[in-house]
Structure 1
Amino acid sequence: MTREKIIRFNIFLFLLFTAISFAQTKISGNLFDNENNLVSNVTVVVYDNNDNILSYSISDLEGFYNVKFTTSLKEVKLLIKAFNYEVVSEIVSNETQIKNFSLKPTVTNLREVIVKESVIRKKGDTLSYNVASFASEKDRTIADIIAKMPGIDVLPDGKILYQGKPINKYYIEGLDLLEGKYNLANKNLPYNQVSKVQILENHQPIKVLDSLVFSESAALNIKLKNNVSVTGQAELGFGMNPVLYEANITPLLFTKTKQILASYQTNNIGNNINDQIKTLTLEDLIDNFDNNNEKEDWLSIQGMSTPNFSEKRWLNNRSHLISMNFLQKLKNEYQLKSNISYSNDYFLQNGNTTTQYFTSLDTIRLLETKQNRLFGNNLETNLILERNSKKNYLKNKFQFKGFWDSQTGFLNQNSIQINQRLTNHFFSFNNNFKHIFTLGKQLVTFHSNISLNKTPQSIIINPGQFPDFLNNGNPYEQTNQSVENKVFFTNNALSFTKALKKFSISQRVGFLYENENLDSQIFTNLILVDDVEFQNKLNWNKAKIYSQSQVQYKNESWRFDVNLPINYYNFAWNNFQDYKENKNRFVFEPRISISNEITSFWKISTNYNRSYQFGDVNQLYNGYILTGYRNIQRFNSVFPEMINDGFSFGINYRNPVKSWFGSFFYTYSILKNNILYSVSINQLGASELQTVRIDNERKSHNLNFKLSKYISEIKSTFTLNSSFSKSTFFQLVNNNLNEISNNNSVFELKINSEVTDKFEVELKSNVVFSKNKIQETENKLIANQLHSFNLNFYPKENHYLALKSEFLINNSFTTNVKSEFLDFLYRYTWKKKNIDFEFQLNNIFNTESYTTIAVSDFSYTETNFQLRPRQVFFKMRFSL
């Protein structure tokens, strides 16, 4: 065993034994009344010497309680409280033991009180957040409320995280209407129709597997106030500078057997409605990845780094979205679902970029002025038949995706005018079938997935690029690059799952096959470059036979998950029939996960996994492809092979009684690669990418810390997030081997506080530090700061005033760049008709541009982005 392997193994053992070494005390027993009847719903609380709660438990229907805690004290206080029973208080030794108690009945005299529902309640693996406790006068949709809840984060694109991890399902009354596209509901469901937001911890979406295969992920469930809800919202707005408009009509219907969400939305005010049809849930994202039906962009115009703050300040758009989503319960627990979405978009980007490429010998500086026009037409349809019962599971999902996109770019590079025209299409048919049923005393799972994809793309660039490469050193008028990729993919598997006491044992075998055909040509002045170095006719075949053994163990506090996949790969490809390759690989990819719920509040986990990645079509073509006006690349080296070893350790804390939530995660990974990317950059910024056979490693460290607290007395949520990452690797730049180190740190503070009934404060501060080191040369530390501060006033009933500000500081190559934004909003609510009338004045200071810095492996790019001007806008909104 090599020294490095010993070090990695010791790291894993340290994390493993750290998880195991926490000394945990368990006190359990039964609770009886004076007639020896079992008493349920009794609260058992463990306190330390200072009356701080260490843990708690609630007795079940059998009168059984089980409380777990960790402390160095020799003794703790046990307090047992129940309605109409005397309180029991006893000092007990800090050791695992069984203690039964007999409760004495008593009469509890109640004074007149106002009963308020708990802000957060925990029952089993379910946390229930009371929506009314987090709502304020300005809120309109359930998304506004969820963003305030401790333990939950909502990212700018709408993705919901619980304890730092993405949710795996988003339900409305226990039904998955939207198949992961939950922004449609989140941003359009009025919060006053919702009673509770529930977090379902350790959620297994497939009911028949619920007691067999555990999950470490959480789901979110929306509990409505009424059994039948006909709701939704409608918005209509118009404004000036230039002519502005917005419309949103989204009716929703929820009954016990049917759910419907329909939506038409359009605007040109910087609202990116495409975020509402993005797949966001973890389970559905994994399905899309496994189905191999995601769009891949082979070609692109020269893009711009978009600002990292509110899109409404910089997104110059004209957007339309139509979405129809339907779920109907059928007999025998079947469900029929359909999801259809069509979007039509136009985006305009104006600005300029300054890029500095760092090599070990010199620095290359490139100036570009850009205007990009992006056109999108996207259609996606899903038709789903599903049965999710405790006895069996069946789901068949048929999906079609169509993208008819085009882009134009007008660019001035050092006084040279360059025009780019891109046609970017994609078409995909996919059918995914899964059936789980009982055979004897075990469960059998059959899974089959088939997809067909086609990606025709082309780019035309004027004047012609890379004349030394493509035209014997002579300037020419036009370059035309075309690419077409066709893909057939199928993955079929059969698995058997059996319970053995507290163990779950699964065996899965399967077969995967993929065929891709890549054709590419380069034309100069409409004449084909008749050289195999600039063409591709690549036929790619990948076959995989796999066997996976999985063992899971679960008791009251411990969870073990061991996956032992053994995979056999066969890769075969040829280009122009005269270049043929064939590779066979037999690999073992173990994954081990251990977690322990130390107490009702604390949970620790550790993981190890090894994975292999092999080259695919976009890493194997040996004919040049012009991927952009100044990027040309090919891969003429050996077959790419990567081995990734990953270690992680995490601590979670959640105390719904005190509304405290926190998490800490550390991950370490080593990626071994048999090739290096070699980049050659000339003084005009044009780059050539090739591969070279050199063994190398990429090492990465990541730390993440989150802490949030809700204080009900002042209706305030405080959240602190931070992360640190460091990666070291090698890169060939202009034929020089460079060791590169990238360091990034992020600090974020969020406060939402209702100071009084008439005054509310929202604060968010985000600071990002980035630093790049090449060999022994340290480049400038880049700091991006974003601070937002909102003041919300409720001067009298039905009136709402808001001042919303953003302050940004970015240090560019030469100086610090500061940007300030201020918006004003006034809303009057006609309560009788439930209609809002709004007046908005956005970008009061008329800030015209914004400068930001992006750090890549060996370059810094400073982007000056043109923003939207000052705008006046009027809006009317009402609930349906």
Structure 2
Amino acid sequence: MKRKIYLFLMVFFSVITFAQKTVSGKITDEDGVAIPSASVTIEEPGKDAILAYGITNSKGEYKVTFTSSEPNVDLKVKAFNQKPLTKQISNSDQTLAFKLQSEATEIKEVQLKTKMITARGDTISYDLKAFDNKNDRTLADIMKKIPGIEVNADGTILYQGNAINKFYVEGKDLMEGGYGTITNSLPKDAISKLEVLENHQPVKMLQGKIPSDAAAINIRLKKSVTMTGRGEVGSGFGDPWLWNVKLTPMFFSKKQQWVVNYKTNNMGEQVENEGNILAFGSSWEGRRGNASQNNWLGVENASVPNLPVKRYLFNNVHYLSANYLTNIDSKKEWEFKANANYTNNAVERESNSVTRDFQQGTQYNTRFLNNFYTDKLKGELIFTKNAKKGFFKNTTTFSQFWNGDRAFAERNDRIGYRTGNESVQSPTSSFQNSLSTIIPWKEKMVNLKSYINYQDDRQTLEISPANYLQLPYKNLVKDTITNINFAGGSTALQDFRIRTLDTSHSANISFTAKGWTFTPEIGIDVSTDKLNTNFEGTAIPNPSITDDIPLNFNDLSYENDLTFAEITPRASITANYKSDAWNVWASLPVNFNNIKAEDAFRNVSKTLNKTTFTPNLFAQYSFASFFKASVNGNISNNFGDIQTAYAGYVLTSPSGFNVMNPKNPIPQTNTKSGGARLEYRNPLNNLFFNVGYRLSDTKNNLLASSAVNDLGFSVVEYIESENKRTNNSYYAEIGKYFPKFKTNASVTFNDTTSKSQSRRNNEDINTTNESNSLGFKFNNTYFSWMSVDFNFTKTWNKQSNGIISNDLGKTENYNHNLNVFFYPLESHTIGFYWDQINSNLGDTKLNNGFFDLSYQFSWTAKKVDFELKWMNIADKKVFERISVGDATITQTTMQLRPSQVMLSVKFNFK
């Protein structure tokens, strides 16, 4: 492995240093006046390919770094209202000044090679018309075809493999990271162009002072005042009757923006996650995150296939959201935002599994039928000032959940056939407030941040009849395991409540010296968790159970009354450096950790007082105009939380108890990670690629030890034993757009090796996982009568740990998605869709193919589409999959949506 790392680093740094030459100087007009924004390009003689380019600054100065094996290169200068200049120069470091002659021109900006992609500084602009096809209707449809940009299944937008940090429409962040609604519903006809803002620092006060390596997306509209949006109404044949309604009107102006969104369907489309926060901005803006519950308890869940959600989701969802932004001062520096969404969703799920336990030589069958009910409300108020001379942002968020889960479980094992009804009720209330302000003080900046979060979670898990359970009990003193038998007809009940208060307050001051920006900071984090749990049930006396094992659950072993408090004063200094070539960032924090866990029931008190140093380093070097090379590394420490500190039994699932040993110390986790990355993005010839390496090493002082009986029920205990996890990953991606063929193609590759330790039935398990994946994406709109979108992923996995051998743990998976659209006549479209998912384990081969067909008529004058779509033509009822665990192999059959036909009307609001 070390040899691979050294080889990678040698290649990595040799690319950086090989034959680089730099040309710099100044561009002026005939009178000697500096010319800003002039383009300077370097090309090899006789070749239509730009090696590197630069743009002059306000003083007319330029600097271009390039790599070429030719003895001479062509230098070309272009500027507004100036005559272009071309000069052949030697391939060497030199300083050259040029005077341009005046010449009238109508060119508004310097277009580099092609109008479909233009570059100006750190902004790359895409003309979406160059990438769309006749069947595309929204921004999301086109964005998936743009080189260098990817859209994940959850809606996250990636640029060069990394998530964006902001999503703007006309420079305004209406959605505050929850941009899925706009990308899925903004009509392409309303868009002028899409801009990628590289190295984007969202806080204006910090631009040019605190660098960023993240990119943002900005959407430019055709009109300064735009009323638009997308709607769809559909009905279908099936059991039950199918419907699909989407109504998303939008309004954008210089002062106000709003989006209202209502979506409902029962035909398998997942719309409730559109409001999830996908871009988190800068830490200088305060804290933001998706509200979530502390879900400790859960019913047994049916498995989910690795298919597009529309293939298996039996849902009945209503999702309503509203986002509003307005400027509240004459200078348009202050913004007020109000965001709210409500979700009501019911989901059904079913699966059957056969599990073989190779450690115990047993086999058992299970069947789970689920009903999941989601009922949640979220509201948010945001006040923001983002100006060159001041920053303020306060975000207040309230969330309420009224969720409930149900399960009907069947088991067939050596004891016989058993059934159980399971339910979880889980109401949650959450309140958050995040405040951040930056105040200018002479040449310095003072940043004050405050965060408060209070959350109250309640959960009740009920299993009836209780004798469905065959739970093991582990005697922590004698290290023996005995099954607990429950009385027939009785009910098992697990109660849970946790109240959490998290606060974080900090102050820092930033000052600049010799190109560096230094930010010393002090702060304090305080969190308190209060946990109460209780388990109730009726056990049958068992002669094999010794007297010191409880036969009723009033014993303290099944209750928890735990207070977990953590106080962490901290001090740090952050250093930033930004130049034309370098972007360096280093954070050097020292944390004074003070943790105390107290359990009044057991008279247990644990404490930890430890000082930690957790540096985080990043350095990026830009060269030859199109290349960026970067390295990063960090050390982090985590001292566990209340979920790893309690000492009593908790039935987290009907499949088994979790328990912590009261003698264990506070959990400690130390992680060291690092990576190197090389990027190339050339908008001049539509070529993008990145290649990199990541490694991480994690050490823990507690080890998960599971006692699993031959029926698959378990008790999981954490024992004091040092263990580690390592992960090494190589990755690469290359994408190219071919204008002549109207084709975009990209290839991705990933190689990952991970090692981990665990313990199962007193046997140490050292697991090695090796995984390789190859991906390919292709779309073509060359023919006027047809367009093609195709992507596939092939993965190879090998797991070995002494129980699961190399042959048993070797799996292969393949999946592809093919969409072909035919345009036989004007306004008519025929679509063919093919999803294929294959998996192999030894001689077992499972092939799953799905086919859809659609016909669409477009009423062009009214911008209305009528679509008839037949989904799952083969009426495939189930999906099969094989999965490998530490000591088990499970073959699962999952229920799918049947064949269905939908008639839809799709339209733009304006």
CA 1:344/1:535 → structure 2, altered by over 3 Å: closer, same or farther? same
Q: Is the 8 A contact 1:78 1:92 kept in 2?
A: no
SS in 2 for 1:846: coil
- State the distance in 2 between where 1:832 and 1:12 align: 57
- Alignment match, 1:142: 139
- Alignment match, 1:539: 563
- Alignment match, 2:122: 125
CA 1:563/1:356 → structure 2, altered by over 3 Å: closer, same or farther? farther
- State the distance in 2 between where 1:479 and 1:15 align: 61
- State the distance in 1 between where 2:426 and 2:896 align: 26
- Paired residue total: 870
Match of 2:303 among 288, 302, 305: 305
- Alignment match, 1:803: 832
- State the distance in 1 between where 2:598 and 2:612 align: 24
Segments of structure 2 that go 5 or more residues without pairing to the other structure are 474-481, 540-550
Percent identical: 29
Q: Is the 8 A contact 1:180 1:284 kept in 2?
A: no
* 1:271 and 2:302 correspond: no
- Alignment match, 2:341: 341
- State the distance in 2 between where 1:341 and 1:24 align: 53
- State the distance in 2 between where 1:858 and 1:199 align: 47
- Alignment match, 2:649: 624
Match of 1:85 among 68, 83, 86: 83
SS in 2 for 1:187: helix
- Which aligned pairs between 1:444-455 and structure 2 lie closer than 5 A? 444-455=446-457
* 1:839 and 2:839 correspond: no
TM-score, normalised by the number of residues in structure 2: 0.91
Q: Is the 8 A contact 1:196 1:224 kept in 2?
A: yes
Q: Deviations over 1:703-726 (max 9, x none)?
A: 121111111222211011121211
- Which aligned pairs between 1:644-663 and structure 2 lie closer than 5 A? 644-663=671-690
- State the distance in 1 between where 2:166 and 2:745 align: 26
* 1:787 and 2:816 correspond: yes
SS in 2 for 1:638: coil
- State the distance in 2 between where 1:109 and 1:573 align: 73
Give how far 1:215 is off. 0.7
Q: Deviations over 1:503-531 (max 9, x none)?
A: 00001100110010001111105997211
Match of 2:619 among 586, 594, 619: 594
Match of 2:891 among 862, 866, 875: 862
Match of 2:757 among 719, 725, 730: 730
Match of 2:660 among 600, 611, 635: 635
* 1:497 and 2:510 correspond: yes
- Which aligned pairs between 1:287-686 and structure 2 lie closer than 5 A? 294-331=292-329, 332=331, 333-359=333-359, 362-414=360-412, 415-464=417-466, 465-466=469-470, 469=473, 473-476=485-488, 477-525=490-538, 529-576=553-600, 578-636=603-661, 637-686=664-713
Q: Which moved more, 1:574-583 or 1:218-227?
A: 574-583
Match of 1:30 among 18, 26, 29: 26
Match of 1:181 among 154, 170, 178: 178
Give how far 1:738 is off. 1.6
- State the distance in 2 between where 1:807 and 1:273 align: 23
Q: Is the 8 A contact 2:472 2:709 kept in 1?
A: no
CA 1:10/1:241 → structure 2, altered by over 3 Å: closer, same or farther? closer
Match of 1:762 among 782, 785, 789: 789
- Alignment match, 1:152: 149
* Amino acid across the alignment from 2:685: K
Q: Deviations over 1:273-311 (max 9, x none)?
A: 112111111438998977796422101111233222221
TM-score, normalised by the number of residues in structure 1: 0.94
SS in 2 for 1:876: strand
- State the distance in 2 between where 1:541 and 1:73 align: 66
Q: Which moved more, 1:19-28 or 1:133-142?
A: 19-28
- Please provide the CA RMSD for this pair: 2.8
* Amino acid across the alignment from 1:656: P
- State the distance in 2 between where 1:14 and 1:589 align: 28
Q: Deviations over 1:436-495 (max 9, x none)?
A: 111222100110011110110111112322456499645443211111000011100001
Q: Is the 8 A contact 2:758 2:766 kept in 1?
A: yes
* Amino acid across the alignment from 2:373: F
* Amino acid across the alignment from 1:639: I
* 1:749 and 2:747 correspond: no
Give how far 1:329 is off. 0.7
- State the distance in 2 between where 1:434 and 1:284 align: 11
- State the distance in 2 between where 1:866 and 1:9 align: 45
Segments of structure 1 that go 5 or more residues without pairing to the other structure are none
SS in 1 for 2:202: coil
- Alignment match, 1:165: 162
- State the distance in 2 between where 1:839 and 1:716 align: 28
- State the distance in 1 between where 2:407 and 2:641 align: 30
Q: Which moved more, 1:632-641 or 1:514-523?
A: 632-641
Q: Which moved more, 1:383-392 or 1:24-33?
A: 24-33
- State the distance in 2 between where 1:139 and 1:586 align: 56
Give how far 1:768 is off. 2.1
CA 1:687/1:430 → structure 2, altered by over 3 Å: closer, same or farther? same
Q: Which moved more, 1:848-857 or 1:766-775?
A: 848-857
Match of 2:721 among 685, 694, 702: 694
Match of 1:827 among 852, 856, 861: 856
SS in 2 for 1:277: coil
- State the distance in 1 between where 2:614 and 2:78 align: 50
CA 1:472/1:353 → structure 2, altered by over 3 Å: closer, same or farther? closer
Give how far 1:63 is off. 3.0
- State the distance in 1 between where 2:613 and 2:255 align: 46
CA 1:380/1:456 → structure 2, altered by over 3 Å: closer, same or farther? same
- State the distance in 2 between where 1:12 and 1:601 align: 20
- Alignment match, 2:477: none
SS in 1 for 2:867: strand
- State the distance in 2 between where 1:370 and 1:263 align: 34
- State the distance in 2 between where 1:735 and 1:34 align: 85
* Amino acid across the alignment from 2:817: S
* Amino acid across the alignment from 2:273: D
- State the distance in 1 between where 2:284 and 2:312 align: 32
Q: Deviations over 1:250-289 (max 9, x none)?
A: 1111111001101111001110011211111143899897
* 1:232 and 2:229 correspond: yes
Give how far 1:65 is off. 2.2
CA 1:422/1:812 → structure 2, altered by over 3 Å: closer, same or farther? farther
Q: Is the 8 A contact 1:317 1:346 kept in 2?
A: yes
Q: Which moved more, 1:75-84 or 1:592-601?
A: 75-84
- Alignment match, 1:775: 802
Q: Is the 8 A contact 2:21 2:91 kept in 1?
A: no
- State the distance in 1 between where 2:773 and 2:626 align: 27
- State the distance in 1 between where 2:61 and 2:282 align: 38
Q: Is the 8 A contact 1:742 1:857 kept in 2?
A: no
Give how far 1:784 is off. 1.7
SS in 2 for 1:299: coil
Give how far 1:366 is off. 3.4
- State the distance in 1 between where 2:46 and 2:294 align: 59
